[in-house]
Structure 1
Amino acid sequence: MTPLPRIEPPVSDRQTLIELLAGDGPAFSPTTYDRFEAWWYGAAANSRRAFAADMRAWGCFRRGRGQPMIPAGAIDVRDFARAQVHAGLKASSIARQLASIAILHDLAGLPSPTRDRVVSGEMKGIRREEGLDGRGRRRQALPLRLKGEVGDIVADKPLPLSVMALSTTLDTTTAAGARDAVLLLLGTDLGRRRSEYAAMNVGDVTAAGDGSGTMLIRRSKTDQSGEGRVKYLSPEAMVAIRTWLASRQGDEESPLPPDTPLLASVDRFGRVGGRLSDDGIRDVLLRIARRGLRRLQPELEDAAIENQVRGLSGHSLRVGFAQDLTAAGEGLAAICQAADWSSPTMPTRYAEALAARSGAVVSQVVV
């Protein structure tokens, strides 16, 4: 039988693994490296980045003690967790690091020390202390909603820090303004993660006869296999997309290639560059908000504007999407389906402030 050819991972991936495990050569046999490469090849991009960061932290800690990365004991892991607490990390971040340490040992064919009661007890204590000193609750991104933090999503006028109000401050005759309008409208229609906005291509958009359209979400956190999800786009979003693409196409007759990034950078001269990164999405939203508030509320000083936009991030559109659907009376099942949450935990957390204001206790007080 002819052996199947071995598929080598990209050089950058192999080099990353070599750098991560540098100095521990004797502990890793060639077979172990094969196991690592197989796991690395199948891991999502975010999982690779997290694992690499965790291994650098673990390797630094172990080298500081004059010890190899593996094998390690439960007391070693406990000491590492304590060191991370002293460095200011939260329990959620430490737990992720311990999960990476477990992967490291599992792939090396060693029992993981993270499963020891010593480690689980230490993590319980860290979480308890974190809750006692007020650090236990994860900070939520500032929501960017259609009309802002209004009481009635239908009747109330939009507040300055809202998609509707900020959209009025955009000059869509410029490349940057046209691009910004697309991002805001995609946010209100889709409520996706920032990495999903960054990954969208021109060919993922399909127009319908009634002026609306659809967006193909080719891959997401809950769709790692890339089966894809088709989502609705409003006529307003489609108009914004056509305006943006027309500004990029210029006088050329041929359309942009399907794999052209939908959301791209624009420099101060109006020149369109490459694909926006995850952080680029955040930076664009912050610029939209700061510039928009200065125009909508010229009486505000810079410090007041910065206070209003504090907490705005690439996740703000997703949080606002969940809150707007909650305010419109949609149930958790519909909200999860709309933005592909695999669990109702996060949309429940995003919308709990709205639920509290509209709860029975508030109703009784009003009555």
Structure 2
Amino acid sequence: MPSNIMIVEQPDRALEPQFVQRGEQAVSRFFLGEEGERARRFQDWIGNHSANTVRTYRTQWSNYFAWCEFAGVDPVPASPYQVRAWIDFRKGQTNPVTGKPIAPNTISQGLAALKALHEIEGLQYTNDYPEIKNALGAIRRKSDHVQRQARGLQLEHAYAIRAVAEDARRRARRKRATAADHRRADRALVDVAIVFLARDCLLRRSETAALRWSDFEEQSDGSGRILIRKSKTDQEGKGQVRFVSRATVEALKRIRPKGADPEASIFGLSSSTIGARVKRACERGGLGEAFSGHSCRRGMAQDLAAKSFNTAEIADAGGWASEGMVVLYTRHEEAGRGAVARFHEGLGPSER
């Protein structure tokens, strides 16, 4: 990589809407402007990554390509000084939804997207250059941003959602029950099945949406098994079988249509709709608004950590490629059994 320092005039932030649109067009021209090896490599890359990753990286590439056009530099190969200049631009941008400065994690995400861009092109690239690491480190030190995760949907929360469903069923069984009562009861039963299954199997929203009835198998002891055909960390589709509790098996049997097509979707919902259903079910259960489609997965990880399962076991159960996210999800549970917590447990009543 070249070693000269790069100084560029940054784009006017008032023009960011046009700036982003220009970047999207530049990305399309770069990858799909003409048939050939580059377009084939891009399509291969798309096939090996989740739709969410593709969408996220394309957003980052759009910003980067537009900046490159303004700076008058080629997107690849990128020198560390070129990347640092882009980081300097990014740190001055604001989140279009919140109006707050771009979070350090979003900039880190952009660096990961740059690495992927170079990999698609067959070029060597690393974010380990001091120029890049120092720029990102400076942003993190100045930022008061703490990554906020959706609240974990733990077992007690799942029970609250099931209680709402049972109440809806009782209302639907009344003599004066209306068609709306029956619809609410049916919807609540589906919500319970989504929540309990997503928790048992630590499912991502996309994995929950992709499940078919042929993936589910009840066992002789009343428990069940679910085949996860493909996931974010299993793009080759090797599959993984996960345990389903008796309570969840019963929840699934309640919503399974008679004579259901084995290849039919279990829930018949999109990934985003499943997320919205989980959030709304939590609100109806009086649990608040801090939940999302990721809450079931996180909540089960927290419940497992509270029962002293280690991060490696939890990562394996949830199909995480590394233990990093498990550590983040379960940090409160880990603190509760850490050295200071154990110290205070050993004190007498008068010492606490």
TM-score range, shorter chain: 0.7 to 0.9
Q: Which whole-Å CA distance do the structure 2 matches of 1:320 and 1:86 have between them?
A: 35
Cα distance between partner residues in 2 of 1:366 and 1:280: 51
For structure 2, the 5+ residue unaligned runs are: 1-23, 94-100, 170-181
Asked if 1:288 corresponds to 2:281, the answer is yes
Which of 192, 196, 210 matches 1:199? 210
Q: Which runs of 5+ in 1 are unaligned?
A: 1-17, 148-161, 250-254, 265-274, 294-307
Q: Which residue identity does 2:281 align to in structure 1?
A: I
Q: Determine which of 245, 263, 266 is the counterpart of 1:262.
A: 266
Q: Which residues of 2 match residues 112-127 of structure 1 at below 5 A?
A: 112=125, 116-127=129-140
Distance 2:74 2:241 in 1: 48
The aligned residue for residue 195 of structure 2 is 184
Matches within 5 A, 1:62-101: 62-65=68-71, 69-70=75-76, 72-87=78-93, 88-101=101-114
Q: Are 2:344 and 1:362 equivalent residues in the alignment?
A: yes
Does 2:191 align with 1:212? no
Secondary structure, in 3 states, of the residue corresponding to 1:168?
helix
In the alignment, what sits opposite 1:3? none
Partner of 1:146: 155
Partner residue, 1:321: 300
Equivalences for residues 215-254 of structure 1 within 5 A: 215-246=226-257, 249=258
Whether contact under 8 Å (2:50, 2:235) holds in the other structure is yes
User: Residues 191 and 41 (structure 1 numbering): CA distance in 2 closer, same or farther, change over 3 Å?
Assistant: closer
| CA–CA distance in structure 1, aligned partners of residues 37 and 229 of structure 2 | 34
2:279–2:289 CA contact under 8 A, matched in 1: no
CA distance in 2, matches of 1:340, 1:22: 33
Q: Cα distance 1:82–1:310, how it changes in 2: closer, same or farther (>3 A)?
A: farther
Residue of 161, 175, 178 corresponding to 2:186:
175
Q: For the aligned residues, what is the CA RMSD?
A: 3.0
Tell me which amino acid in the other structure corresponds to 2:280.
R
Native 8 Å contact 2:26 2:66 kept in 1? no
Instruction: Give the equivalent residue in structure 1 for 2:331.
Output: 352
Q: Percent same amino acid among aligned pairs? A: 26
Deviations 1:108-156 (A, max 9, x none): 46665856432232122222223xxx21x32122111112xxxxxxxxx
Q: CA deviation at 1:215?
A: 0.8
Please state how far the C-alpha of 1:364 moved relative to its aligned partner: 4.2
CA distance in 2, matches of 1:351, 1:40: 32
Asked whether the equivalents of residues 20 and 52 of structure 1 are also in contact (C-alpha less than 8 Å), the reply is no
User: One-letter code of the match for 1:92?
Assistant: N
**Distance (whole Å) between structure 2 residues aligned to residue 29 and residue 286 of structure 1:** 43
CA shift for structure 1 position 194: 2.0
Aligned-residue offset at 1:98: 2.1
Paired with 1:24 and 1:189, the residues of 2 have a C-alpha distance of 43
Q: Which amino acid aligns with 1:357?
A: G
CA distance in 2, matches of 1:116, 1:324: 40
Q: Deviations over 1:154-212 (max 9, x none)?
A: xxxxxxxx111221111356321221110121133222222211221121111122322
Q: Contact between 2:150 and 2:292, CA under 8 Å: does it hold in 1?
A: yes
Distance 1:65 1:191, change over 3 A: same
Q: Secondary structure at the match of 1:86?
A: coil
Residue type of the alignment partner of 2:162: S
Distance between the aligned counterparts of 2:300 and 2:250, measured in 1?
Answer: 20
